[in-house]
Structure 1
Amino acid sequence: MIKALFTSATGMTAQTTSIDNTANNIANVNTNGFKRGQVDFQDLIYVDLRPAGSTAAQGLTVPTGLQLGSGVRVADVTKIFTEGTLVNTQNPLDVAVEGDGFFQVTLPSGELRYTRDGGLKLNAQGNLVTSDGFLITPQISIPTSAVSIGIGSDGTVSVQNAGALNATTTLGQLTLARFQNPAGLSAQGRNLFAETASSGAPLLATPGQNGIGLTRQGFQERSNVDVVAELINLILAQRAYEFNTRAVRTADNMLASTTDLVR
C-alpha cells in the first residue's frame, strides 16, 4: 500500500482541527475578554531507510540520510493572551483590565475561576457578579443608598450615597490574579478559565502592583481576534486540505495504474 494515503490522511485530520479552531475564533470575535487559539503542528515519526552517516564504501559515509515522514499531528492549541481593544461603554459597572491580570470569580460550589470579562452586574443583594451571577472575589456589596459608583485604576471601589453627595465611601478593592503561564489555563466556557498544574498557582495583587495591570472603569475589553488574519488562516487550511486530498487521489491513481498492469 502506498504510504502517501496514510500520510495525507493525517494532514487532512490536522487541517480539519485547524479549521475548527479558526471557526471558534471567528465565532467569538465579539466575545468580551476572549483570547484566540493558535494551532501548533508537529511532524510524526520518521522511517529511516538509510541513516545519515552510514557506510557507503570502505572509508566512505553517505552525507545525507533517506528518511520518510509519517505525516503531521496537532501538537496543541495555545491561547494567545495579548490584550484586546478597550471600548468605552460609559457603563460604571464595566471594568477592563489594562495589562496582565484576571478577575477572580467564585462558583456556587466554592471553586475559583478567572476571567478577563469585566462586564460586572449587581445581584439582588447588591453584590458585584458576572453575567451568570457568579460572585466577584473579594466580595464587594453596593448599598441601596448609592447614587454613583466609582472604581479607581487601583481597583478601589467607592460610592456616593444619597443625602451625602459630597462624601465618598470606600467599600473595598478589587484584587486581580496573574499566572506564570497563562497559556496553561483551562478554558471552561462562560468566559472563565481554571487553574491547572501547567498554569501555576495564581499570584494575587492589587491592580498596578507586582506586574498586575490597571483597572479601567467604563471600558470593556473585546476579543483579541484579528478577523483578517483568521480569514487568511482559513484559506491556508482549506488549501492545505485540498492539497492533501489531491495527494490521496494521486496515490489512488498510481494504485489503479499498477492494478491495470497485471490484468
Structure 2
Amino acid sequence: MSYQTGLSGLSAASTDLDVIGNNIANANTVGFKSSTAQFADMYANAVMTAANNQVGIGTRLSTVEQDFSNGTFTKTDRPLDIAINGNGFFQLSNNGALVYSRNGVFHLDKSGVIENAQGLPLMGYSPGPDGKMNTGSVGPIMVSSASLPPTATKTISAAFNLDSQDPVSTNPFNPSDPSSYSYGQPMSVYDSLGGSQSINVYFVKKATGSYDVYGTSGNPPAPVGPNPSGSMGTITFDTSGHLTSPNASALTFNIPNAADNGATTQNLTLNLTGTTQYAGKNGVTQLLPDGNSSGQLTAFSVGEDGTLTGSYSNGATLVLGQVALATFSNPNGLANMGNNLYAQTGDSGAAQVSSPGSTNHGVLLGGQTEDSNVDLTHQLVDLITAQRNYQANSQTIKTQQTVDQALINL
C-alpha cells in the first residue's frame, strides 16, 4: 500500500506545483484570479472496517478553487480599459454564445464595435430613440463615428438685471437708437442646419416696473416675428424687483430670415425666469440657449454605472450605450476556457445580468485595469511547501523499496 500512498502523494504534490506555477505565471495577467488546489484523503473498504482500524491509502485532488476577490487597480487613462470593482463579469459574444471575463482591456474594431484582444464583442445595452436604455436584451456595444446632427434652438433660458433707476423711454423703439431702449443683449442660436443665427433682445421701459421686450435678428437686423414691430410681450416687476408677469417664462417669437440659408423658420421661446429689477447696472446673469451645431466625436468615457458617453466637438454629449455585467451564484462552477474567459455551467447557475452598481453587481472604473490577485510572496512560500511535500512522498516510496528488499534478502 505504501507505493500507492506515496504515488498519490506525488500526484497531489505535482498538481499543487502545477496550480502554484500557473498562479505565478499569471501574476501580471489582467483580471486573472488565483487558484488553490484542495485535496481529500482516501480509505480502502472504509464502510466495512471498524472505525479504529481504518488506514488511509493516500490523497486525491478534490477541487481547484479560484479566489474571485478583487485585485488592485492600475490607472491607464485609456478610455476602453475598464475594471470591475466588486462582483460581476464582462459579457462577450463568442460565435453567438456568451462567455464571461474579468479582463477589461478593450479596443475598437474598424466598425466601431468594442471588442477584446481575441476579437470578441463586449455586450451591453443600447439606447432607444428616446435615449433610454433598452435593458430587455444585450448586444454588441458600438461607438459610432458618425457626425452628431445639429439641433435647432427651441428655448433660450436667460436672466437679466434691469436697472430700476433707468428713466422711462419716450422715443419709439428703434434698435439703431440706444436712447429708445434701456438695455440690449446680443445672443446666438442654432438653426435647423446647425448654422448660427444672431438675435438681439431689447428691454424698453414704458412705466415704473414695466418693460416691453423686442427682438431683432439677422444682419442687417430685422424684427423677429410674428409681430411686425418685433415685440415679444411685456414683463412687469413688483416693488421688490421680482418678476410678476406670468408670461415671462414663455415669450414666443420666430426668426423668419433663418430660411435665407436653407434652414426652416425657427419658432423660439424666451424664458426670462430669474430676471430682476434692482438698482444697479444692467446686465445678463444667465444666457443658456439650447440646441447645437453638428459635431464630431472627440472622446468617450465609461461611468461607474457602465454608461458609455461620447463627447463631441460642438460641446454636446450623447449616451452611446451601457456595459452590462453578469453575476453567478457559484462563480467557482464556471468553466475556464483560457484567454481569461469563462463559460456558464450547471454548477455555476444561470447568469444574473444587470447594470453595474445594481444589486450584487460591482461598479466600473473607466481608464483602469484590474491586476491579477496573485500574492507572489504567498505563492513562493506555497511553492517551497509543495516541493518539500513532493520530496517527502518520494521518500515514502524509497522506504517501501528498502522494506521490500529486506524481505527479499530473508
TM-score (norm 1): 0.90
Within 2, Cα distance between the matches of 1:45 and 1:259? 28
Correspondence for 1:58: none
More helix by share: 1
| Correspondence list, 1:224-239, <5 A | 224-239=373-388
Q: Which amino acid aligns with 2:113?
A: N
In the comparison of the two structures, how many residue pairs are matched? Answer: 244
Is the aligned partner of 1:117 residue 2:116?
A: no
Encode CA deviations 1:176-198: one digit per residue, 9 max, x unaligned: 01000001000101111000000
Report SS of the residue matched to 2:55.
Answer: strand
| Correspondence list, 1:19-34, <5 A | 19-34=17-32
Within 1, Cα distance between the matches of 2:50 and 2:339? 51
Encode CA deviations 1:197-222: one digit per residue, 9 max, x unaligned: 00000001111001100000011001
Q: Is the 8 A contact 2:43 2:54 kept in 1?
A: no
Correspondence for 1:140: 141
Shift of 1:258: 1.5
Q: 1:80 aligns with which of 60, 63, 67?
A: 67
Within 1, Cα distance between the matches of 2:142 and 2:18? 41
Q: Is the 8 A contact 1:43 1:73 kept in 2?
A: yes
Q: Is the 8 A contact 1:14 1:73 kept in 2?
A: yes
Shift of 1:260: 1.3
Within 2, Cα distance between the matches of 1:72 and 1:146? 61
Report SS of the residue matched to 1:19.
Answer: helix
Superposed CA RMSD in Å reads 1.3
Shift of 1:246: 0.8
Q: Is the 8 A contact 1:8 1:248 kept in 2?
A: yes
Q: 2:332 aligns with which of 179, 183, 187?
A: 183
Within 2, Cα distance between the matches of 1:143 and 1:256? 78
Percent of aligned positions with the same letter in both sequences?
36
Shift of 1:6: 1.4
Report SS of the residue matched to 2:319.
Answer: strand
Within 1, Cα distance between the matches of 2:308 and 2:5? 58
Q: Which runs of no fewer than 5 residues in structure 1 stay unpaired?
A: 53-64
Within 1, Cα distance between the matches of 2:356 and 2:311? 22
Q: Which amino acid aligns with 1:44?
A: M
Within 1, Cα distance between the matches of 2:336 and 2:89? 13
Q: Is the 8 A contact 1:4 1:251 kept in 2?
A: yes
Is the aligned partner of 1:215 residue 2:358?
A: no
Q: Is the 8 A contact 1:98 1:216 kept in 2?
A: yes
Q: Which amino acid aligns with 1:12?
A: L
Q: Which amino acid aligns with 1:103?
A: F
Q: Is the 8 A contact 1:156 1:174 kept in 2?
A: yes
Q: 2:83 aligns with which of 77, 88, 96?
A: 96
Shift of 1:67: 1.5
Correspondence for 1:8: 6
Q: Which amino acid aligns with 1:84?
A: G
Within 2, Cα distance between the matches of 1:37 and 1:150? 33
Q: 1:238 to 1:143 in 2, by over 3 A?
A: same
Within 2, Cα distance between the matches of 1:81 and 1:94? 20
Shift of 1:90: 1.2
Report SS of the residue matched to 2:409.
Answer: helix
Correspondence for 1:155: 306
Is the aligned partner of 1:245 residue 2:380?
A: no
Q: Which runs of no fewer than 5 residues in structure 2 stay unpaired?
A: 125-139, 146-295
Shift of 1:50: 6.0
Shift of 1:46: 3.6
Q: 1:50 to 1:220 in 2, by over 3 A?
A: closer
Shift of 1:143: 2.4
| CA radius of gyration, larger in | 2
Within 1, Cα distance between the matches of 2:57 and 2:298? 67
Q: Is the 8 A contact 2:328 2:352 kept in 1?
A: yes
Report SS of the residue matched to 1:135.
Answer: coil
Q: 1:114 to 1:50 in 2, by over 3 A?
A: closer
Encode CA deviations 1:209-257: one digit per residue, 9 max, x unaligned: 0110000001100111111111111111110111111111111111111
Within 1, Cα distance between the matches of 2:310 and 2:78? 15
Encode CA deviations 1:115-137: one digit per residue, 9 max, x unaligned: 11111100000111111111111
TM-score (norm 2): 0.58
Is the aligned partner of 1:129 residue 2:127?
A: no
Q: Is the 8 A contact 1:47 1:68 kept in 2?
A: no
Within 2, Cα distance between the matches of 1:43 and 1:254? 24
Report SS of the residue matched to 2:21.
Answer: helix
Correspondence for 1:61: none
